[in-house]
Amino acid sequence: MSAVPSYRSAWCTPEIETFRAGVRRFVANELLPHEEEWKRQQHVDPAVWRRAGELGLLLTDVSETWGGGGGTFAHEAVIAEELARAGISSFGNAVHSIVAHYLVNHATEAQRARWLPRMARGELIAAIAMSEPGAGSDLQGIATRAERDGDHYVLNGSKTFISNGYNANLVCVVAKTDPAQRARGISLFMVETAGLPGYRVGRILEKLGQKGQDTCELFFEDCRVPATALLGEQEGQGFVQLMQELPYERTLIAVQAVAAIERAVGLTVDYTKQRKVFGKPLFDLQHTRFTLAEAHTLAHVARVFLDSCIERLMRGELDTVTASMAKWWTTDLQCQVIDDCVQLHGGYGYMLEYPITQMYADARVQRIYGGANEIMKEIIARAL
């Protein structure tokens, strides 16, 4: 739903809008009543994943052959939008879907059959373990090792900032199988963690925002995983696999950003029309109207650019450079617009009881995860 009522995203077909209505009911009935509790405990209850699976809201763009919904990226975009518009930051569906696409595009048929149906049912909750204490956006700097030992690999290392880390029981682990080869020595492993000796979940990290999202440290100490945990059939493909899936991940982040921008503008228009200053609505002041006019325009520009990216992704045509543009620009814009909206709320904009304040805290990490925005600009610059 664009900031401009007369504009309709081409990918929002009647079928997609019917699907949106079901997502909105799920958010209202199953997520919103528990969001504050989840923020306090720093993770959602695993049962909500199974409920989402029952309703067909997991892996919506994965083939029915592997237990998914058989839809398109449009279905995933709707879920991301509705979560953002409701202010739900705790339910890590986006990460779950990203991991699913590593399997769809790079796994063997046996691996897809083993993991995707259980992910679609919410029995397996997925995370991807990339970042380490000494390596974030620079994936070639990771230290986690996976050494072949007969028909197993032995994993050693630590990961941090892992979304879904507390609840996850299927973790896509980025590890080095041949450190001398740098990028060509990186492999991905799908690790089922339940009862795995040597695997340990560290503390749930205290964050500025997104407090209900279980972001954790993970530790692997001589963890023996079967050789069949290697994603695909060949070592050393991990870096290529990561690069190929980044447009999907970065477009999802952009979807969240644009939906948040539109929500922030709508909330602030409503607030300024109700808030009285010097005996008249705050909205009547020229500065307020001009600030919101600018934000409204930027929201529409962002929506049109995002829709182009979504349509290209659905056609299999979205390149890494354009996805990087979308990720950095929309998330920078998200922080800029929300900051302006906080200012228009005055002192109330600093109070957590107001949605705009929580949005301010939740937004900042968007410029960091999925590849820091400085890395996005470097990717774009290299293509010039």
Query: Which one of 76, 81, 235, 249 is the catalytic residue?
Result: 249
Parallel/antiparallel/unpaired status of strands 215-226 and 152-163:
antiparallel
Q: Respond yes or no: is residue 147 known to be catalytic.
A: no
Q: How far is 30 from 331, CA to CA, in rounded Å?
A: 27
Q: Which residues contact 139 (CB under 8 A, 6 or more apart)?
A: 130, 174, 183, 186, 239, 242
Count of alpha carbons within 13 angstroms of residue 107, beta-carbon side: 20
Chain-centre distance for alpha carbon 209: 14
DSSP 33: G
Q: Taking the CB of residue 182, how many other CB atoms lie within 10 A of it?
A: 12
Q: Give the total residue count for the chain.
A: 384
Q: Which of 95, 174, 142 is nearest to 365 (CA)?
A: 95
| Nearest-10 crossing angle of helices 73-86, 238-274 | 40
**Is residue 124 within 8 Å of residue 164, measured between CB atoms?**
no
Q: How far is 328 from 368, CA to CA, in rounded Å?
A: 9
DSSP strand E in 150-251: where?
152-163, 170-176, 186-192, 199-204, 215-226
Distances in Å between the Cα of 322 and the Cα atoms of 159, 250, 317, 381 are 29, 10, 10, 12
Which helix (H) or strand (E) covers residue 250, if one does?
helix 238-274
Task: Please report, as a single letter, which amino acid is at residue 72.
Answer: T
Task: Please report, as a single letter, which amino acid is at residue 243.
Answer: M
Q: How far is 259 from 27, CA to CA, in rounded Å?
A: 15
* Active-site amino acid positions: 249
